[in-house]
Amino acid sequence: MTTISLLQAPHPDLTATPEVRMLLKPQCADRGVVDGAWWPRTRDLARELPSLVAVLDERWGRITRVAVNPRSWLEIPKKVPAGIHTVSVGWFDAEQDPDDLLLLSYTVGRWDLLIVPPECDPERASWLMCAAADVNNRQSVRELLAGPRSVRHTTHAAPWEAL
């Protein structure tokens, strides 16, 4: 299991994006339905997506497109800046689960991340992220979100911890 944390250098700008909270399955694993989980801080996709893509570009290769369900976000920008390139953003209403983030790369392929709702309490968010990143887990986004609400997953590390 991989924990990725994007740490920002000290900067006087208090609006700087904080670290990315995510857990990913190992690259060599038979990934199942989801490849990990992402816990954004808000439902502002234009603000949240650039730092996520920057981290994933390094891990998976250049992310070129992202698809979301419009029910989960306040607005869906057509494009977002991501480092030295721009990522196209699209949406699917009926075809895509509201809590699924679809990421595409020309060179590497497709990934699906469970979107942990920003308003989720930390204990539940930790359980969801660990469950989504568990290599033995074959549950869908919907099944993960319907899972146990009080039982902690076998992985005990907090998903936002740096390695």
The pairing of strands 85-91 and 65-68 is parallel
Give 163: exposed, middle or buried? Use CB within 10 Å, 0-12, 13-18, 19+.
Answer: exposed
Q: Please report the pLDDT score of residue 33 as a whole number.
A: 87
Residue spans of the domains in the chain: they are: 32-143
Distance CA 67, CA 163 (A): 29
Distance CA 119, CA 51 (A): 19
Residue 39 and residue 125 in contact, taking contact as beta carbons nearer than 8 Å: yes
Question: What pTM, to 2 d.p., does this model score?
Answer: 0.78
Distance CA 145, CA 143 (A): 5
Residue 115 and residue 38 in contact, taking contact as beta carbons nearer than 8 Å: yes
| Residuewise pLDDT in 10s, the chain (163 residues) | 444 443 333 333 333 445 789 999 987 656 778 999 999 999 999 999 999 998 898 888 899 999 999 999 989 999 999 878 999 999 988 888 999 999 998 877 899 999 999 999 999 999 999 999 999 889 999 999 998 754 344 443 444 433 2
What SS3 state is found at 3?
strand
Residues 6+ apart with CB under 8 A from 36: 2, 22, 23, 24, 25, 111, 113, 114, 129, 132, 133
What SS3 state is found at 132?
helix
